[in-house]
């Protein structure tokens, strides 16, 4: 691993570039499948499930019996761990509720804001080599707290037509009953248009591979919202000599094992720390079951030696990391000055994996620099803000003339008339 020493600002953009992939061929495939699912529904979904997942299914819907029996197929220790995580996630997201905000902007003019849940949401949960049952907690828990009426979960089946029992147990624990054995593009298309089996939803949440990512983006063209633009997972760590090199290395590798296109970045004002972490990465990498994947991601990694904290925070804000670990003596400087990050982890004993699973914060976060303008998933992601207003006769008298003048200046006579009629009515009485 090469250390980049004191890079000039004009080179930051090039140095911080994410691993990129061409999506031209992917877009063509996604568009074609979307069109077929829209026209033919379940038949096409079944065909693509057979093609991509190597299994022919008579029914996509996971039965109540399958959901219940999943509890017997995982260990008690794992069930306890999932339950602990659910409690913490529930606690943290429950306190995100906000009350109605109401204000009289002037006498007789009352305005207020209330929140309403999105009625129908879709959750996409990857299966494959890393069945992300933890993501069910991150999405289903706030969806339930928000009060979403219909929650649809899609996840790919294995070659035996089964779903990982930890996924089913977690879905059942969260009270999700509409679980479908459908993955990939066809799952996103199914939730976008609705099929004979899969309900149409208003917003789709969840991570996925590059095909799922492009499919979610295409869904927005058909009036379906998504949680956020997504890309390969990423982590940036800022550390100094107070950090434990073995801890830092483990954090970098924990993100690298997500996928070959993941990216990890380590920034430090200490070259000694960078060298120690490099050695730790080499030692720990050899012991990982997903060594080959992590090794490819590490090839995309950056070790950057920076002059001082002020320069470091500027570079970090320019990058806008999905996950940001602060492991320095002057941690308050970074906490107070970070502007662009999905989620922040502070100190030697706060690994990124804690937030991935059980601390209570949400792990569905903006990647690819979108932390500059997007928030991670939270309770509000499952809700809409609605404004209300009520105006009395007194209010009409106070606001009416201003409305008439502004409407006339914009050339919108009907707008003006709507106010003038009311003012005249009050004068007549």
User: Would you list which residues are annotated within the binding site?
Assistant: 124, 186, 209, 233, 255, 258, 323, 356, 410, 415
* Catalytic machinery residues: 322-323
Beta bridge partners of 116: 384
User: Would you list which residues are annotated within the binding site for NAD(+)?
Assistant: 124, 186, 209
21 three-state secondary structure: coil
Q: Summarize pLDDT for 380-421 with one digit per residue, the tens.
A: 999 999 999 999 999 999 999 999 999 999 999 999 999 999
User: What contacts 366, CB < 8 A, 6 or more positions away?
Assistant: 228, 229, 230, 320, 322, 342, 374, 375, 376
CA distance 322 to 367: 5
Residue environment code for 61-85, b if the CB has 16+ CB neighbours within 10 A, otherwise e = ebeeebbeebeeebeeeebeebeeb
- What mean pLDDT value characterizes the chain? 95
290 three-state secondary structure: coil
Q: Which CATH architecture describes the domain 24-101+118-226?
A: 3-Layer(aba) Sandwich (3.40)
Provide DSSP, 62-83: PPHHHHHHGGGGS-HHHHHHHH
* Cβ atoms of 310 and 285 closer than 8 Å: no
Task: Let me know if domain 392-428 sits in CATH 3.40.50.1370.
Answer: no
- Which DSSP letter does residue 199 get? P
130 three-state secondary structure: coil
H or E segment and range at residue 101: strand 101-106
Residue range(s) occupied by CATH 1.20.5.1300 in the chain: 392-428
Question: What CATH class is the domain 3-19+232-360?
Answer: alpha beta
Residue range(s) occupied by CATH 3.40.50.1980 in the chain: 3-19+232-360, 24-101+118-226
Helices (H), 220-308: 245-256, 271-285, 291-298
CA distance 167 to 24: 32
* Cβ atoms of 416 and 424 closer than 8 Å: no
* Cβ atoms of 236 and 321 closer than 8 Å: yes
Per-residue tens of pLDDT for the chain, all 429 residues: 789 999 999 999 999 998 766 677 789 999 999 999 999 999 999 999 999 999 999 999 999 999 999 999 999 999 999 999 999 999 999 999 999 999 999 999 999 999 999 999 999 999 877 799 999 999 999 999 999 999 999 999 999 999 999 999 999 999 999 999 999 999 999 999 999 999 999 999 999 888 999 999 999 999 999 999 877 889 999 999 999 999 999 999 999 998 888 899 999 999 999 999 999 999 999 999 999 988 988 888 899 999 999 999 999 999 999 999 999 999 999 999 999 999 999 999 999 999 999 999 999 999 999 999 999 999 999 999 999 999 999 999 999 999 999 999 999 999 999 999 999 999 987
Backbone torsions φ then ψ of 387, nearest 5 degrees: -100, 150
Q: Summarize pLDDT for 288-305 with one digit per residue, the tens.
A: 999 998 898 888 889 999
Chain center to CA of 209: 14
Whole-angstrom CA distances from 327 to 240, 250, 300, 319 are: 7, 13, 22, 18
């Amino acid at each position: 691993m090469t250390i980049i020493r004191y890079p000039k600002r004009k080179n930051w953009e090039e140095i911080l570039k994410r691993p990129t992939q061409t999506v031209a061929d992917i877009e063509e495939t996604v568009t074609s499948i979307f069109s077929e699912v829209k026209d033919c529904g379940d038949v096409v979904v079944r065909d693509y499930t057979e093609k991509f997942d190597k299994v022919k299914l008579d029914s996509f819907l996971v039965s109540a019996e399958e959901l219940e029996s999943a509890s017997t197929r995982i260990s008690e220790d794992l069930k306890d761990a999932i339950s602990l995580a659910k409690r913490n996630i529930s606690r943290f997201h429950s306190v995100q509720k906000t009350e109605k905000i109401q204000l009289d902007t002037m006498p007789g003019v009352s305005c207020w804001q209330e929140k309403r849940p999105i009625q129908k949401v879709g959750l996409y949960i990857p299966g494959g080599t890393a069945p992300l049952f933890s993501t069910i907690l991150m999405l289903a828990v706030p969806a339930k707290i928000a009060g979403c009426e219909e929650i649809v979960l899609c996840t790919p089946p294995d070659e035996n037509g089964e779903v990982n029992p930890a996924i089913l147990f977690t879905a059942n624990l969260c009270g999700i009953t509409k679980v479908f054995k459908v993955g990939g593009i066809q799952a996103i298309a199914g939730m976008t248009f609705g099929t004979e089996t899969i309900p149409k939803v208003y917003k789709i949440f969840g991570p996925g591979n590059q095909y799922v990512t492009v499919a979610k983006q295409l869904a927005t063209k058909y009036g379906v919202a998504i949680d956020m633009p997504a890309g390969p997972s990423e982590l940036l760590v800022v550390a100094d000599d107070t950090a434990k090199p073995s801890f830092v290395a483990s954090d970098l590798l924990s993100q690298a094992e997500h996928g070959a296109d993941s990216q990890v970045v380590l920034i430090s004002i200490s070259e000694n720390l960078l060298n120690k972490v490099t050695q730790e990465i080499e030692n720990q990498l050899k012991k990982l079951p997903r060594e080959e994947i992590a090794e490819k991601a590490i090839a995309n990694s950056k070790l950057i030696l920076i002059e001082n904290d002020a320069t470091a925070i500027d570079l970090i804000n320019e990058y806008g990391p999905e996950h940001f670990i602060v492991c320095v003596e002057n941690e308050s400087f970074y906490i107070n000055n970070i502007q662009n990050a999905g989620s922040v982890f502070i100190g030697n004993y706060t690994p990124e994996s804690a937030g991935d699973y059980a601390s209570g914060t949400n792990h569905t976060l903006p990647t690819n620099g979108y932390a500059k303008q997007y928030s991670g998933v939270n309770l509000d992601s499952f809700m809409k803000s609605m404004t209300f207003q009520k105006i009395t006769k007194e209010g009409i008298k106070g606001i009416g003339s201003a409305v008439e003048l502004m409407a006339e200046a914009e050339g919108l006579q009907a707008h003006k008339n709507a106010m003038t009629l009311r003012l005249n009515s009050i004068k007549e009485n």
